[in-house]
Amino acid sequence: MIWEVWQYATTPVALPYVKSMGFLKEVIATAARGKRCQKHWSPHYQACRNSILRAADACPRHRHLLIFGAGSLQDIPLDILSKRFERITLVDLVFLSAARSKAALYPNVCLRERDVSESLVDINAGTLKVCDPVHWLDDPEIDLVVSLNLLTQLPLMPVKWLESHGNFNEHQTEKLGQDLINSHLQYLQKFKAKKDTVVCLIADRWVQRFDCEGQLIKEFDPWWDVPQPVIQQEWDWQVMPLGEASNRYSQIHRVGVTIL
């Protein structure tokens, strides 16, 4: 707990809403959960790393690699990728010290604190406006784009924020969630529209909750009913083993990979 408080106080933050909307707190909590659940999360991290390497194999050229939702960097095989690509840009709203230290080992890797949805300024101001992201679309050297366990996270904090800072009904916030997911998918498609750019989407596709006897008690679609592209490879990520969030249930996310 002291470490978490220390991180909250000392992590440099470039975007003003990262603290106020709760993103920094969430990233610190996820990092702490990742440590506690290391045994259960490492197969997921390994599967992500393998998928990224397969996507890199499919690239005719290896100039610029762009990864959205880089976060802790634990699901990125940075050592191998930094040798294969001329440069790598890792994007997230915020990076903790462990990720900063790791990235600093590689001269061709840079961290960018940016809002991939390009909508958070408006949402933070209390509107339901969702923009069409454009950043990096004009970079002709991008050969691989990876969206890494980010897509289903895009609506979570914005919806929570507007539920407590606006007068919106459930239908409006649900629509916001769907708009954020759709605009990210369209953004990825625009990279794909450029010849020879490979776009790899890694995202959870289905969530299941089990009681302590292993009986399914709840399941839901983390895509807010937005149609999903066909999965080409998949695995289960035991996000919350029994005893992590509760002694009464465990939670598994089915993760799917699509090369768009």
Residues in contact with ligand SAM by the rule CB under 6 A: 23, 27, 30, 69-72, 74-75, 92-94, 115-117, 120, 148-150, 153-154
Instruction: Report how far residue 57's alpha carbon sits from residue 109's, in angstroms, rounded to the nearest whole number.
Output: 19
Q: At what angle do helices 23-36 and 2-10 cross, to 10 degrees?
A: 140
> Closest separation between CB of residue 102 and ligand SAM, Å?
11
Q: Min. distance of Cβ 207 from ligand SAM in angstroms?
A: 13
- The burial of 18, by beta-carbon neighbours within 10 Å (0-12 exposed, 13-18 middle, 19 or more buried), is given as buried
- C-beta closer to ligand SAM: residue 80 or 216: 80
Question: Which residue in the block uniquely carries the two structure tokens 């993760």?
Answer: 255
C-beta separation of 255 from 235 below 8 A:
yes
Least Cβ distance, residue 229 to ligand SAM (angstroms): 19
Burial class (CB in 10 A: 0-12, 13-18, 19+), 178: middle
* Cross-strand pairs, 157: none
Token pair recorded at residue 135: 């950043």
How many beta carbons lie within 10 A of that of residue 106, not counting itself? Answer: 15
Q: Which is nearer to ligand SAM, 119 or 197 (CB)?
A: 119
Nearest by Cα to 96 from 21, 166, 192, 31: 31
Shortest Cβ 75–ligand SAM spacing (Å): 5
Least Cα distance to 154 among 92, 101, 212 occurs for 92
Q: How far is the CB of 168 from ligand SAM (least distance, A)?
A: 19
For ligand SAM, give the closer residue by CB, 160 or 211.
160
Element (H, E) at 189: helix 170-192
Of 44 and 64, nearer to ligand SAM (C-beta) is 44
Q: Which is nearer to ligand SAM, 120 or 185 (CB)?
A: 120
**Of residues 148 and 200, the one with the C-beta less far from ligand SAM:** 148
Instruction: Report the nearest approach of ligand SAM to the CB of residue 195 (Å).
Output: 26
CB 196, min distance to ligand SAM, A: 25
CB nearer to ligand SAM: pick between 160 and 194: 160
Q: Which of 127, 55, 128 is nearest to 85 (CA)?
A: 55
